Amino acid sequence: MVTVKNPKNLTERYETLTWPDHCVQGSKGAELHKDLDTRRIDRVIEKGQMMETEMYSAFYPPLSNPTVGDSGLADVLKGAGITDVSSIPVVPLNEA
């Protein structure tokens, strides 16, 4: 377990398990798979863009007082009129 602290409010914290580094920006493991048909992709939501915070879910930021690490996914879905999500397709990534 590690303790994650809000870099903008050190009194806000939580404990979590962390994954080993994976899908690191700029690495082959973060690229979309070469066989994926990307013609219908109009947006890629990136999460975990802040080294200071663990971001397990793209749906909500892990820290909220103040908000830190928001991927923007919830706003994108709301902006598209999507109110309910039953599943999210997992995009195949290249093997690291």
Map tokens 């039953």 to a residue.
86
Domain that holds residue 9: 1-88
pLDDT in tens, 40-79: 888 888 877 777 776 777 777 778 888 887 888 889 999 9
Q: Does residue 15 sit within a domain?
A: yes
CA 27 – CA 20 distance, rounded (Å): 15
Domain assignment present for 93: no
Domain count, the chain: 1
Q: Phi/psi class of residue 69: alpha, beta or left (left: φ > 0; alpha: ψ in -120 to 50)?
A: left
Question: Does residue 82 form part of some domain?
Answer: yes
The backbone torsions φ and ψ at residue 68, rounded to the nearest 5 degrees and listed phi first, read -135, 135
Cα separation values, 56 from 35, 38, 48, Å: 26, 25, 8
This model's pTM is above 0.75: no
Lowest mean pLDDT of 11-15, 39-43, 88-92, name the range.
Answer: 88-92
